[in-house]
A and B are shown apart, each in its own frame.
Chain A
Amino acid sequence: MNAPPTSGLTEQRLDWRVLVVHTVTFRQARAILSSAGPIAVVVAVQGNLGSVGLIGIAVAATLASLAFSVLRWWRFSYQIDAQRLLVRQGLLTRSERAVPLDRVRGVDVEASALHRLFRIAVLRVDAAAGTGGNDEAVLDAVSATDARRLRELLLVQRAVGGGPAVAQAPEVAVAPDVAAERVFARLDPRWLLYAPLVGSYLAVPLAIGGTLLRDVGSLPIPTGLRDLVEIPEGAGAGRIALSLIGALAVVAVGALLAGAVANWGFVLAARGSNLVAERGLLTRRTVSLEIDRIRGYVLSQGLGLRLVRAARLTALVTGLGDQNRRGQLLPLGPLRVAEDVAASAVRRFDTPLRPHPSAALRRRLLRAVGPPALIAVVLLLVDLPVAATVAAVVAVAGVALGIDRYHALGHAADAAALAVRSGSVLRRRVVLEQRALVGWRVRQSWFQRRAGLVTVIACVGAGEGGYDVLDCGTGQGLDLVTAVSPGWAGSLTTH
């Protein structure tokens, strides 16, 4: 390994331009001003201060904010020596945080639109604390060029410090060479059209719409648009349908915008010993994942995405907080692309999945049809025919759901990893590396025992902590365990 000799960094201040950003956003002063603000407004109104007084209050608040920002900036410093990153801060109570470089798990760079205007960025250093939790050091903010340089410095130092750990793992996909860069994925803007099919993006316009709806009457909406949204009394079916289509279109466009704001210009690339993902339209975010700590991936498809053969891809990383957001390898894209990215950036897994026994189909059907059917019967008995019909329709739809859920079930193992698939409304395919496993659990209910089925749970120190192989045959499940962990899990089956 020929990393450049990085001797560290002497004691540094944050970039002064952050003073402007923090002053206008009331970053430090917000805690104090949030209580003083309303009081000032009341004083202004009651005391008939007029515009001059209001401007005076605004100026005073801004000056106070500037003073707080300057104090914090003056008392904040950071430095990097051979072993650690040191952050000193605090006005009266001085605190000093030392983050050992070999514990650095990732370095994220984030710049809001305002930060970008001043060419500065916030640096977040994610470190595994000794207790197993995560510790964070935040540099808010340094110049954009410094951010890049610091990230390289921190990550390279870690790679040098963690030399033995790198050597232990033979499956590192990319040699830890800092200069090398290989792009795995780039978001095609056309993929944003998938956004209205994803719940989390749909939620954004719905939430905003819900807030607006409360005081829709007082909003200055153009009459033409209001006619589209508001349904006059005694409207015909055609008019209602038109309004619904209009509302759906607005929500779809909102979801599209939400997807674009979060993911515009998404790029996933390998840089040195890290996978670096960069994205965002207004706030630009750069997240780095240590390749050596990636233990697998999750390919997930909601019902909407499945219909158009699209998917999202997330990495499973040990010791990474906020995995769903930070581990994203492809936020949106065609299934084929997501599979390619998973194969090239994490690992290839081609072994076809084994289906589960037909007893699993009976259980899926019973679970999907049983409860609504039972409710329908009860409702019929207490003489509520309309509600009973609704429940019966749900029960019939349950047949399709149960069959689809059964077809999702499958698992497989190859020489170094295992794959599990399940789910209908949210279908997930999880691929986990063998070395990630820290335990196996085999669960069998009384009903499963009669059906010859078990649920096998692969316990891992990443992601959700465990992934279920739902309702596989008892023999299949034990075969999977012994195939993946032939050594230590052998005593699950043999003496």
Chain B
Amino acid sequence: MTSPRAAPRTPAYQISRGAIGLWTLEGAISSLFLLAAAIVAAVLVPSAAPAPLRFAAAAAPYLAGAYAVIAVAIRPRLRYRVHRWEVTEESVFTLTGWLTQNWTIIPIARIQTVDINRGAMQRLFGLASVALLTASSKGTVEIVHLDAGLAGAVAPDLAHRAAAIRDEAT
């Protein structure tokens, strides 16, 4: 029996520091689009429009600005602090998220496919993700933003171990 205030364990390893840069860049790009849209809205709404609409249009650039601060300066660092992963004897264990956190654990015996994903932006920062698929659509684990070299070592190892002890019964 665990205590009512118990928390799931934190997996052992952090992801690559490059993830902060990648998430900051992604946040900056989405912030720019949002700011542009908000400014266009603020300029285009005529002064004759109903009061709630005018108020919303006037507030939009400030809201977009607040989003930019969070997405560029705060969220990448929080995410980096939360994200963790670990491969144990029998399972793969990850922790993701920032405000909402997700602990996911799957047995290596039930891994069906192991994928390495390298997006264009990930390449820029020398990162790669390892995706592990099981028979369940909700039981997919992705270890995001590892050093590309590390991902290249972890994925074949997991694929090999999964093939050795695969449990087909599902």
How many interface residues does chain A have, given as a range? 35 or more
B2 interface contact, C-beta 8 A: yes
Nearest A residue (CB) for B2:
A475
Given A168-B169, A436-B170, are A441 and B103 also a contact pair (CB < 8 Å)?
Answer: yes
| Stretch in contact with the other chain, from A221-229, A423-431, A443-451 | A443-451
A245 on the interface (CB 8 Å rule)?
no
Q: Tell me whether B8 is interfacial, beta carbon within 8 Å.
A: yes
A442 to chain B, nearest CB (A): 4
Contact call A474/B6, Cβ cutoff below 8 A: yes
Query: Do A488 and B91 touch across chains, with their CB atoms under 8 A apart?
Result: yes
State whether the Cβ of A263 lies closer than 8 Å to any Cβ in chain B: no
Q: How far is the CB of B55 from chain A (nearest CB, A)?
A: 12
A34 interface residue (CB < 8 Å to B) = no
With a cutoff of 8 Å between Cβ atoms, the chain A residues found around residue B108 in the complex are 488
Residues of A within 8 Å of B9, CB to CB, are: 491-495
Q: Which of A441, A445, A446, A476 has the most CB of B within 10 A?
A: A441
Whether A488 and B1, one on each chain, are in contact in the complex, defined by CB atoms closer than 8 angstroms, is: no
With A461-B170, A493-B6 known as contacts, the answer to whether A445 contacts B134 (CB < 8 A) is no
Q: Quick one: closest A residue to B107, CB to CB?
A: A488
Contact B99 A465 (CB under 8 A): no
Q: How far is the CB of A233 from chain B (nearest CB, A)?
A: 37
B interface, over-half SS? loop
Nearest CB on B from A383, distance (A): 13
Stretch at the interface among A136-144, A391-399, A452-460: A452-460
Answer yes or no: B64 CB below 8 A from chain A CBs: no
User: Are A478's CB and B8's CB within 8 A?
Assistant: yes
- Do A465 and B139 contact each other (CB < 8 Å), given the known contacts A132-B112, A493-B2? yes
Chain A positions 354 through 367: 1 when the CB is less than 8 Å from some CB of chain B, otherwise 0: 00010000000000
Q: How far is the CA of A487 from the CA of B104 in the complex (A)?
A: 15
Q: With A and B bound together, what is the CA distance between A266 and B104 in angstroms?
A: 41
Which residue of B3, B90, B99, B100 contacts A487 across the interface (Cβ within 8 Å)?
B90
| In the complex, A36 has a CB within 8 A of chain B | no
Q: A132-B112, A475-B6, A491-B93 are in contact. Are A438 and B137 (CB under 8 A)?
A: no
CA distance A488 to B86 in the complex (A): 13
Q: Give chain B's interface residues, CB within 8 Å of chain A.
A: 1-9, 86, 88, 90-91, 93, 99-110, 112, 134-139, 141, 168-170
Q: List 18 A-B contacts (CB under 8 A).
A: A165-B168, A168-B169, A435-B169, A438-B106, A438-B134, A438-B139, A441-B104, A442-B8, A443-B102, A452-B5, A459-B136, A461-B135, A464-B138, A475-B1, A475-B5, A488-B108, A491-B90, A493-B2
5 nearest A-B pairs in the assembled complex, by CB-CB distance: A461-B135, A459-B139, A466-B138, A439-B139, A439-B106
